[in-house]
Chain A
Amino acid sequence: MDDGYITEDGRKIGGVVMEMKNITLRFGGVVAIKDISFDIREGEIRAIIGPNGAGKSSMLNVISGFYIPSEGEVFYKGSKRPQMRPFEVARQGIARTFQNIALFEGMSVLDNVMTGRLNHMQSNLFQQALWSGKAEREETANREVAEKVIDFLEIQHIRKTPVSRLPYGLKKRVELARALAAEPQLLLLDEPMAGMNVEEKEDMCRFILDVNDEFGTTICLIEHDMGVVMDLSDRVVVMDYGKKIGDGTPNEVRNNQEVIDAYLGVSHD
């Protein structure tokens, strides 16, 4: 296998972590994704962009294992991935956030973040209910990770606040916190900036870069905001009507005529 590349800002990107080979996804007669292939490399920030209905979220769901592709294969860490249930995917080190926030609204921020640690707990229900030594030690260790994430994302002040009382921008951040608490190797972000104001977007950008920089997490994100995508990502896949129309660094994509026509608008002069 090849050895990756060096980004424009000097970061070293590793080998292929996940590879999508000729993926096609159909819902009855509707073809959501048509014969798409691309890869995600270790340590990079990979973006998937495209107009509404291009099939971006479907693609992310295929990556996360939630959808089973009708045709094509997914390779994760060099081997072909079998059909899996969501928790099995999570155990493989993949975590995600959702376009329309999916938190436990009635629980506090801390409890929500702690749910991200579930896969790291070994004690069973009875041990936890009886607060056995093992359960207690585990809880302490997991709480420590959760607190580091809370500190990292600067949400200490809402630690004990029920999620339902939080504004939208903060909920998004809590969702990212829960995903991070799982200590993923691959983090999937579905429109992390949707509906945010400029300041919140800037904060979120910084967090995404910091996560990538600090933990070396591979990140795959879907985003609408072109400015954000071009600033953040190392490589971009462009989709339109379920097809891949471009793939490369932000600069390459920006200069790809097909992409300009389809997504950025046709220039008239």
Chain B
Amino acid sequence: MAQTQSSAEGMKSLPALLERNATEFADAPAYREKEFGIWQSWSWAETAEQIEALALGLINLGVNEGDFIAIIGRNRPYMYWSMVAAQSVGAIPVPLYQDSGAEEMAYVLGHCGARFIVVADQEQADKVIQVQDQLHQFEHLIYLDPRGMRKYDHHQLHQYSHVQDQGRAARDEWITDLKARREKLTYDSTCVMLYTSGTTGKPKGVVLSNRNVIETARNSAEFDKLTRNEDILSYLPMAWVGDFIFSIGQAYWCGFCVNCPESADTMITDLREIGPSYYFAPPRVFETQLTTVMIRMEDAGSLKKRMFDRAMAHAKKVGGKILDGEPVGFMDRLKYRIGDMLVYGPLKDTLGLGNVRVGYTAGEAIGPEIFDFYRSLGINLKQLYGQTEATVFITAQPDGQVRADTVGVPSPNVEIKIADNGEIFYRSPGTFVEYYKNPESTASTKDAEGWVATGDAGFFEPDSGHLRIIDRAKDVGKMADGSLFAPKYVENKLKFYPDILEAVLFGNGKDRCVAFINIDLSAVGNWAERNNIAYASYQELAGHPKVLESIKSHVTAVNASVAEDEMLSGCQIHRFVVLHKELDADDGEMTRTRKVRRVIVADKFSDIVDAMYGGDAQVSTVTEVTYEDGRKGSISATLQIVDAEVAPIRQKIAAE
């Protein structure tokens, strides 16, 4: 619907887009949230009223232009409104990861100097109160859910709805100020500040301007032909740039509806009820869904299972081709249609992906089998490559040119160049303004011409023009014999096995590689149940000889496939251990977006790594763990070190 979007030309801020939506699509749904078992919905006009009331309330509380307002909570319409309300009064919203601990929050809140904090509930409020002595600028906290908050001292605490009520009551006093502040917003005003989780060091505050957000929303919406009729389910962390672009940037640009799940645990049910047309998920979500389907099919009756297997085999053969519009024979098409009626359609509905027109996965590499599984069902799942500093989009796969091993072509208006060492640089309208209060990092990431270093190494495929990512540039190293060490390449191959959740490869500067492996508790647990293997804990299951045996067979298979790549054949795994605990963000071993922090892991488990290189058959270790409430404990374990079979390296055949 080009005409709806063209009317947004010249809109220079999100509050301006909101105003347009409230007049043009007044009665169309803008937000839905399932509460008390029913989908509650708000039209654009109602949304505008809610946001205005909150904005007036914020002015009434004393919010100044340029203030930072931190927002902590799960995806709820009210939390999204607080972002736009903050923008309306000239303040800058700073969404935080709601599962961060109090100390992590203290750093971010202190760094941006937030005077106001909007939280979802008592849990988040308690964290802020716990660290408020460290926060010099902090003045007021606004909470959404009053439950359990009754007894608190309310000098600095305010209930969300009361702030809105006060705003409505003070409308006459402040409405002119609010309008004036809204009109002052330009393309260069700051739209939002997002903290990158960072695989190393302290989080950095990425400042994104209205230009970054609105231009990116426009380009990406045109790229995928998004209209105001889309429905999305917003369940990814609000502090993540992707959610900001999908649930706010594109939603306001296109005017489509944002649906919020009832709770984190009901996400799958809510997904099925909403049936989004535009869907976004990290590979992990797709992996989990696929694992669930497969586990349930294992338990199904033989007739159903045979039908499923037959249909899926056929889908694997032609499904992807049909989706890409390639020529497929009549009989194959007919069989696919029958399969669609009997298997694919019902399965897609069960997964809640029946209406998906455009689906994206990003953040990590997705296993080719997993990727192909969804595409063969007829779900238009694609990959994109992006980062916070680029306002998400660097490359994306156009419809019909989708492959598991590339991340697509440059997004509209994005320029890309590859440096000599393989590092990818880009320049686009979405390129971030700066890191807040960190000019050194800004200078080292973004040069004077606006080129930004991604920190990833990759190359363009000569025939297709698609970008392929090899690894983090800084993780790519050299083995002792000078051959290339690219840990992620190997780790991803391992992670594509459903029973391996996470893998970490070591070997930079050494003569051979060793690996840590985390098992996937749901997949391995189910397997154990079916094979009558009793276990009392994660640790016991992880150390079970049969588990080690099956992991070993995966490692052997991966080694064989690594050996075929002459550049990376040195990265074969010689020895491995199955770790006694899951790598966890609470222990600092992963980022909040679940990327492994290599250096920290290597340091924390250095005794295990040493034992692996030292040739020991087993190693005893004590590991400190942090519980969700911040308490510490420790677990001790004796781990078996397993020797893996290494495939012979194919010698380079001299060119004749």
- B36 contacts A213, C-beta separation under 8 Å: no
27 contacts between A and B (CB under 8 A): A10-B151, A11-B151, A110-B37, A143-B37, A144-B36, A147-B36, A147-B37, A148-B36, A150-B36, A150-B37, A151-B36, A156-B262, A156-B263, A156-B265, A156-B266, A157-B262, A157-B266, A159-B37, A206-B148, A209-B148, A210-B147, A213-B148, A213-B150, A213-B151, A214-B147, A214-B148, A214-B150
- A152 contacts B37, C-beta separation under 8 Å: no
A206 to B123, CA, bound (A): 11
Within 8 A of A (CB), among B9-38: 35-38
Query: Is A154 interfacial (CB 8 A cutoff)?
Result: yes
Q: B residues within 8 A CB of A156?
A: 37, 262-263, 265-266
Closest 3 CB pairs of A and B: A157-B265, A147-B36, A147-B37
Interface code B276-318, partner A: CB below 8 Å = 1, 0 otherwise? Answer: 0000000000000000000000000000000000000000000
Q: B residues within 8 A CB of A209?
A: 148
Interface code A46-58, partner B: CB below 8 Å = 1, 0 otherwise? Answer: 0000000000000
Q: A residues within 8 A CB of B150?
A: 213-214
Interface centre among A10, A154, A157, A214 (most CB of B within 10 A): A157
Q: What is the total number of residues of chain A having a CB less than 8 Å from a CB of chain B? A: 20
A214 to B265, CA, bound (A): 24
Interface code A143-169, partner B: CB below 8 Å = 1, 0 otherwise? Answer: 110011011101011010000000000
Query: Is A9 interfacial (CB 8 A cutoff)?
Result: yes
A154 to B122, CA, bound (A): 14
Within 8 A of A (CB), among B560-596: none
Q: B residues within 8 A CB of A154?
A: 263
Q: A residues within 8 A CB of B147?
A: 152, 210, 214
Nearest residue (CB) in B for A10 is B151
A164 to B38, CA, bound (A): 25
Query: Is B7 interfacial (CB 8 A cutoff)?
Result: no
Beyond A150-B37, A151-B35, 8 additional contacts (C-beta under 8 Å) are A9-B151, A156-B263, A156-B265, A157-B263, A157-B265, A157-B266, A209-B148, A214-B147
Which B residues form the contact surface with A (CB < 8 A)? 35-38, 147-148, 150-151, 262-263, 265-266, 269
Within 8 A of B (CB), among A171-214: 206, 209-210, 213-214
Q: A residues within 8 A CB of B148?
A: 206, 209-210, 213-214
Q: B residues within 8 A CB of A150?
A: 36-37
A143 to B151, CA, bound (A): 29
Distance (whole angstroms) from the CB of B521 to the closest CB of chain A: 16
Q: B residues within 8 A CB of A9?
A: 151
Q: A residues within 8 A CB of B265?
A: 156-157
Interface centre among B35, B36, B265, B269 (most CB of A within 10 A): B36
A71 to B88, CA, bound (A): 70
Q: B residues within 8 A CB of A11?
A: 151
Nearest residue (CB) in B for A154 is B263
A237 to B115, CA, bound (A): 48
Nearest residue (CB) in A for B267 is A157
A148 to B37, CA, bound (A): 9
Nearest residue (CB) in B for A144 is B36
Distance (whole angstroms) from the CB of A204 to the closest CB of chain B: 14
Distance (whole angstroms) from the CB of A192 to the closest CB of chain B: 18
Distance (whole angstroms) from the CB of A164 to the closest CB of chain B: 17
Distance (whole angstroms) from the CB of B72 to the closest CB of chain A: 18
A14 to B311, CA, bound (A): 68
Q: A residues within 8 A CB of B38?
A: 147
Distance (whole angstroms) from the CB of B603 to the closest CB of chain A: 29
A11 to B151, CA, bound (A): 9
With A9-B151, A210-B148: A157-B269 Cβ-Cβ less than 8 Å: yes
Q: A residues within 8 A CB of B262?
A: 156-157
A221 to B591, CA, bound (A): 43
A9 to B150, CA, bound (A): 12
A41 to B36, CA, bound (A): 32
Q: B residues within 8 A CB of A157?
A: 262-263, 265-266, 269
Q: A residues within 8 A CB of B35?
A: 151
